[in-house]
């Protein structure tokens, strides 16, 4: 039964990590209805480390583009790949600094359904506004390689906002990039690339904190983690391909509507839950 639950968690992670609808928010909500039979310390670590499978999907799909040592690339292409990585590193600095400083505080105060619902709704309206504002406009930056260091650091500041559960890391970075004049496809691609060091860092922090708790991981918990990561990897492969094809022809307005509707449902659910508890 726990393995079946892990499959569900992997599917939700693989779908919501890349769509701008908040994977963390959906996992928090999923935990309300489908609880794993694991320790609370493992659950806290699992909700983040399951993202490793999703990261691997990005590495597999974009390996050639992100590999500066590819033998099929000439000297200029290798140089451009190194520069791209430098821009990615610059872009993740804001969220990295804020995340390290406030990780424990956010775990204690922000990981709840009400915060998730508000963030879903606010960013839902933000997507609708930005898409309407940019309708008919040509983006200033059409390809990910054309993103400069200044734009990269600004996108990174938007990613820092995604530390609020329900905001969505991909949603924040894509929305911010579009506001800065980046095309939808380039914004989505750069968001994927930023996810690699961001999620690796976040996972490393959670694993370290789990180890420091002194709580031993059981065989069942290890199986749950491995299955969750494997499923999120497989699902992410399909979702990333689908999203890149989608944004070339359509706007993010549909995701904005989804966020608003889901946020409203979540608010009603937690209001009803609070009423019943009184």
Read off the pLDDT of residues 168-184 as tens digits, 9 standing for 90 and up: 889 999 999 999 999 99
Say which range, 6-15, 145-154, 231-240, 242-251, has the weakest mean pLDDT.
242-251
Q: What is the per-residue pLDDT for 125?
A: 96
Read off the pLDDT of residues 118-159 as tens digits, 9 standing for 90 and up: 999 999 999 999 999 888 788 999 999 999 999 999 999 999
Prediction pTM value: 0.88
**Residue 100: is its pLDDT beyond 90?**
no
**Residue 276: is its pLDDT beyond 90?**
no
**Residue 220: is its pLDDT beyond 80?**
yes
**Residue 107: is its pLDDT beyond 80?**
no
**Residue 24: is its pLDDT beyond 80?**
no
**Residue 83: is its pLDDT beyond 90?**
yes
Q: How confident is the model at residue 160 (pLDDT cuts 50, 70, 90)?
A: very high
Both tokens assigned to 244: 């890149």
Contact criterion met (CB below 8 Å) for 162 and 25: no
Q: Is the dihedral of CA 161, 238, 139, 250 positive or negative?
A: negative
**Residue 16: is its pLDDT beyond 80?**
yes
Rounded Cα–Cα distance for residues 232 and 154 (Å):
29
Cα dist from 245 to 15, 99, 200, 248, 249, whole Å: 15, 32, 26, 6, 7
Q: How confident is the model at residue 102 (pLDDT cuts 50, 70, 90)?
A: confident
Q: Return mean pLDDT, the chain.
A: 91
CA-based nearest residue to 181, from 222, 148, 224, 214: 148
Residue 76 CB burial class (10 angstroms; 0-12, 13-18, ≥19): exposed
């Amino acid at each position: 039964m726990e393995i079946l639950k892990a499959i569900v968690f992997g599917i939700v992670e693989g779908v919501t990590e890349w769509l701008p609808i908040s994977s963390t928010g959906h996992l928090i909500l999923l935990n309300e209805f489908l609880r794993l039979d694991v320790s609370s310390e493992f659950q806290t670590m699992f909700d983040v480390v399951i993202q490793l499978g999703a990261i691997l999907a990005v590495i597999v799909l974009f390996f050639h583009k992100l590999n500066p040592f590819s033998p099929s690339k000439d000297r200029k292409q290798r140089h451009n790949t190194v520069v791209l990585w430098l821009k990615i590193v610059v872009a993740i600095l804001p969220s990295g600094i804020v995340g390290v400083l406030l990780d424990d505080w956010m775990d204690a105060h922000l990981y709840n359904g009400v915060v998730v619902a508000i963030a879903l709704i606010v960013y839902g309206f933000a997507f609708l506004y930005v898409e309407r504002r940019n309708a008919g406009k040509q983006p200033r930056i059409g390809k990910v390689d054309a993103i400069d260091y200044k734009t990269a650091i600004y996108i990174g500041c938007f990613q820092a906002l995604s530390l609020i559960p329900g905001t969505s890391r991909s949603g924040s970075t894509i929305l911010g990039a579009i506001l800065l004049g980046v095309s939808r496809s380039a914004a989505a691609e750069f968001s994927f690339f930023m996810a690699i060091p961001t999620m690796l860092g976040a996972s490393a922090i959670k694993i370290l904190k789990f180890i420091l708790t002194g709580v031993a991981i059981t065989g069942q918990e290890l199986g749950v983690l491995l299955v969750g990561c494997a499923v999120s990897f497989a699902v992410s492969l399909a979702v990333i391909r689908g999203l890149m094809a989608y944004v070339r022809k359509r706007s993010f307005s549909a995701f904005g509507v989804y966020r608003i509707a889901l946020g409203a449902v979540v608010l009603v659910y937690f209001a009803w839950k609070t009423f019943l508890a009184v």
